[in-house]
Amino acid sequence: MAASNADGTLGEHVPRYESNDLNSQVIHIGSFRNSWLETLPPDLYSYEIKSEEIEIAQLAEVLQIPTETLNELKDICSVDSLKSHPDDQPVDSNVVPPNPDLACLRLRKKRQDYKKTLVRDLVGRHDTYSNEMESVHMGLMPEDSTSVVPEGEIILSFNIVYPILFERFKHVRAHQTMQVLGSQNLTELRDAICCVSDLQVFGEFSNMPDATPQYISKDHYKSAFFYFEGVFYNDTRYPECRDISETTREWAKTRDFPEFKTAKMEDMTFYDLRMKIGYPYFYCHQGDCEHVMVLTDIRLIHPDDCRDRTLYPLLSHKHRVMTRKCCVCHLYISRWITTNDRLAPMDPCLFCDKCFRMLHYDAQGNKLYDFQAYVYVDPGVFN
Amino acid sequence: MLRGSSHILLWSWKSCMPLQKYLHEEYSVDMVPLWTQKEKMVFSRQIIMSEQLRKFEEPLKTDLEELLGRFQRTTSVRYEDFSSMWRDMKFGDIFHGIQNLKEKNAFSRIALNTATAYFLPPYSFQVRVGGLYVLYGLYHSQCSLPKQKIRLALKDWGDVQAFTQDALSSQHYDVVYILHKLLGTKAFHFTAMPVPLAFLRDKKNQVMPNTEAVAKPSSRPQQLVTTEMLEEVANIHQHYKQLKASVSAQHPEASLNLVRHNLVPKLFNSVMSFSTWQNIHTQGGEASVQSTSLDEPSTSSSSNQHQQQQECSRRADLLASIKARSYGQVVEVAKSRRHRQAELCSAGDAGPREDPGMGGVPGAIPRRRRRFHNSLRYRTLRRLYETGGIPEEFLTSTKLWRLSKADQEETTRAIKTRFKW
């Protein structure tokens, strides 16, 4: 007699799959949160874990059985009943047990046997620390109690993809995954997204290699916008910010698209948004650096999540990029890129600082021949 | 440095980053300069991790169904029975054998997500109880840190509540106890959707079932041109002719003959020929009773079909033999081009060659066959080389750190044996 799951009986704020089974329909995040908070008893989403006595007392009330039966239940259903090996014989969980019956274990044993046949089994150094980002933030409490995230808060996870993506690599995990609190503004997410195009430095510096200017593109071009469900959210915090979504909106008007609306990024929190889960959306900054963003998950906060409000938006996954090394020494990360350079093996060519100066300038710092040099910021700078 | 700032401001960032134009998606992957090969390798390592874990979905389902099947056969919902089965199958060891913590976490997530399906409708009550026990077992036997949680979507919460009520009313206290224990140890994540969604279309799993054999052949012409329709058209045609005759009384002008005289018979004939053609081309003989609502005798047509079928196959055989003869002979080229003799290769060979020493084109680089097909760059270079456009050195890429090497030296690539699941 379970309640039927037909669409008609569900409320309108309950997320469901759309017909393509890839994303949900449009939901209003604030009302989604309210729906959960209404149906859940508060102790289920609170941070504290109840002590045993209270739990037993409550259970006795609910089940309405005498305490001896309850104690009996406790013994039968304890966690020890799941252990397949007695406590005094510890088993190494990193090794597949011999003669496995389970299909998963047999599959894993294949890999284990293969690894045994290898002469050298190299563990990539990235794999050792691959989980570090998540484990560092586990259950982290802030030092002062004012910046604790309250219970019942919503965490949204966004996948932000590389601005230029090869078709072949679309199935790779995204460039970054950020976790954001529902009560934060959109501007906080915008500030937290790290993209290498924000760090670009202008100018041709072959004549004055020591004189790189101090400002970067992030300070110059401050306009940005998010696009969610037919609304462009523009960043208007600074006087230099312009509405860069205007061109798109005007183009859309000439092409029979529905009217797109605009809103201010700094006024909106995530609770006010209406979005689809699992559907690609858009973030544009620097005029033409475009990122696809996907909202992958919305859930209530859990005691194991980071509870320090100042740390949000939290980077929970970052793809490690191979940095490009200097073409001369192959040791240092390159900082200069040259074109029209007759001594370089290819056009354009990357150099680290030392090799660049040794090749192109003499001891006094005079330019030795004609070439063009630009500052290069490697995409792996955020590693 | 503000001196030049106004001048600098006019530059867009793109003009200072010539590399970016190579990375735009318009260009094929292989026109990118050499140093991004490494990037490709890093990406492919990431693909391997998630693909690895996808291989575990099938075995997980098998194992879970085995366990739940056994539980169902006992027709009881007691936890003791379940836990004895769990210990018997040593199901807790399913998490063993992973060295990497990240993989441990990912596997736990997958296991919990798969098992949650059995806890929700439309399964029967007993299976759902089994699912609940499985979740309890998996949650407490996982080796991951932090303990991965069970995802519960908003739309399923109502079902869980109803389930608890059922269990309580039927006095299955262990069910309720286990559920409360799980809720008390904060084992659930209260989410929007049961699985995190990232708009990843699974191309491999969506195998389109081959419906050609069972699909009904299209019968639209027959549906359009039915007997009633032909009668109507004949009527209208009659009326039209009468009208025309009455309008131009003396002699009907030739220029007014815009409609065929034998419109109706011609329509009928063309639809009939179409349906017979269809019947010949569909497999099996059952199509001879296609939806032609015209009651023409079809006895003669079946023998016709047979004859036509024989004719078609004879023609096909003839064509095939001609083709085989022509492609089987290799034309000898003139002596002046004897270094580039044409070679006969079978259809299976048309793809890339595995090792260079097989008497094929010298300088062919061993390519991994299954993972990546030959890139456009490689194919273009090969074609240019074969037509004599470029010298042989262009086929292999110059390693920067070996810009000068002795003429006779050749580096042979070690072919690594990769692990196949």
Predicted confidence (pLDDT) per residue in A20-47, tens digit: 778 888 888 888 888 888 888 888 888 8
pLDDT at B13: 36
Contact B190 A135 (CB under 8 A): no
- How do residues A68-80 score in pLDDT, each as one tens digit? 888 888 888 888 8
Return the residue of B nearest to A154 by Cα: B191
Residue A113 has pLDDT above 80, yes or no: yes
Flag whether pLDDT at A225 surpasses 60: yes
How many CA atoms within 13 Å lie on the side-chain side of B366? 11
Backbone angles phi, psi at B217, to 5 degrees: -65, 145
Alpha helices, H only, chain A: 29-39, 42-45, 52-63, 67-76, 103-117, 125-128, 132-136, 186-192, 217-220, 245-254, 353-360
Model-level pTM? 0.67
Nearest to A296 among B146, B153, B197 (CB): B197
Give residues with Cβ within 8 angstroms of A21, minimum separation 6. none
Mean model confidence pLDDT for chain A: 82
What per-residue confidence (pLDDT) applies to B401? Answer: 65
Q: What is the mean pLDDT of residues B281-306?
A: 49
Assess whether pLDDT exceeds 80 at residue B83.
Answer: yes
Packing angle between helix B79-89 and helix A67-76, nearest 10 degrees? 20
Hey, is the C-beta of B99 within 8 angstroms of any chain A C-beta?
yes
Measured between beta carbons, the chain A residues lying within 8 angstroms of B164 are none
pLDDT at A88 over 80: no
- Locate the domains of chain A by residue range: 131-199+216-318, 336-382
In the predicted structure, residue B136 carries a pLDDT above the cut 90: yes
Label residue B376 by pLDDT band (50, 70, 90): confident
Q: Do A102 and B25 touch (CB under 8 A)?
A: no
Strand, helix or coil at B139? helix
pLDDT at B6: 36
- Please report which confidence band the pLDDT of residue A267 belongs to, taking 50, 70 and 90 as the band edges: confident
Residue B151 pLDDT class (50, 70, 90 cuts) = very high
Look at the alpha carbons of A11, A274, A266, A377 in this order and tell me if their dihedral is positive or negative.
positive
Tell me the two tokens of residue B349: 């060979």
Is pLDDT at B286 greater than 50 in this prediction? Answer: no
The ipTM value here is 0.86
Whether B26 has its CB under 8 Å from any CB of chain A: the answer is: no
| B331 close to A (CB below 8 A) | no
* B284 or B118, greater pLDDT: B118
Of the candidate ranges A97-101, A106-110, B103-107, B346-350, the one whose mean pLDDT is the lowest: B346-350
What pLDDT, on the 0 to 100 scale, is given for residue B416?
Answer: 63
Average of per-residue pLDDT across A343-363: 88
Mean per-residue pLDDT, B150-165: 91
The answer to which of A242-256, A365-379, B134-148, B386-400 has the lowest mean pLDDT is B386-400
Answer with the residue of higher pLDDT: B96 or B337.
Answer: B96
Mutate to test the interface with A, among B173, B179, B373 (most CBs of A within 10 A): B173
Residues from chain B contacting residue A349 (CB–CB below 8 Å): none
Question: Considering only the top CATH level, what class is A131-199+216-318?
Answer: alpha beta
Q: Which pLDDT does position B152 carry in this prediction?
A: 92
pLDDT grade for B51, boundaries at 50, 70 and 90 = low
pLDDT for residue B38 is more than 50: no
Separation in Å, CA of B309 to nearest CA in chain A: 43
- Residues B379 and B195: their CA atoms lie apart, in Å, by 41
- What is the radius of gyration, based on Cα positions, of chain A? 28
A341 in the Ramachandran plot: left (φ > 0), alpha (ψ -120 to 50) or beta?
beta
Of A23, A27, A95, the CB nearest to B96: A95
Segment (H or E) for B306: helix B299-328
The yes-or-no verdict on residue B168 having pLDDT over 60 is yes
pLDDT at A171: 59
The answer to whether the Cβ–Cβ distance between B96 and A166 falls below 8 Å is: no
* A294/B403 Cβ within 8 A: no
Rounded to 5°, the CA angle A36-A42-A48 comes to: 125
Reported as a pLDDT band with limits 50, 70 and 90, residue A380 is: confident
Q: Tokens in use for B28? A: 């094929």
| Residue in B55, B102, B198 nearest the CB of A107 | B55
**Lowest-confidence segment of A138-142, B47-51, B164-168 by average pLDDT:** B47-51
